[in-house]
Amino acid sequence: MELLLKQNIEHLGRIGDVVKVKSGYARNYLLPRGLAVMVTKTNLAEIERARALALAEEQLRVAAMKELATKLAEASVTIEGRANAEGHLFGSVTGAQIAASLREKGIAIDDKAVRLAQPLKEIGVFDVTVHLHATVEATVKVWVVQAKPQ
């Protein structure tokens, strides 16, 4: 069964795509939820207008993310942690801690946007990737330092 998508659906297609799906998937999921419509001239014209709006909206979002990426490239974060004499932390620095430090500096970042291959477990300076959009990534310098004794 061929349908015209009204919304982006992961692993299926984007707005305005004509997709071929099984009739049960169309009848029980896509059509009742309003995610797709039957392919007609009227629906094609309507979806093209929606696609143009979505594309303009996406371009604005990407521009905002690129602006945020330039802010992030200039920013650096310092996180204190207790460590032994060799510089190994007793705990670790996670992406959530880095995101929280960025939010304290006024840069709104989601915890999941900070991408660490593994938690930081040593004192030092690290370059951490922040994934803002499918096409936009930024690098933040993270300083992990010894906490002052209390």
Q: How far apart are CA 123 and CA 62, in angstroms?
A: 34
Domain boundaries, the chain: 2-62, 69-146
| Nearest to 144, CA basis, from 83, 66, 72 | 83
Assigned CATH topology for domain 2-62: Ribosomal Protein L9; domain 1 (3.40.5)
pLDDT tens-place string over residues 89-123: 999 999 999 999 999 999 989 999 999 989 999 99
Residue whose tokens read 């799906």 = 21
Assigned CATH topology for domain 69-146: Ribosomal Protein L9; domain 2 (3.10.430)
pLDDT tens-place string over residues 37-76: 998 989 888 888 888 888 899 899 999 999 999 999 999 9
Residue whose tokens read 């209390």 = 150
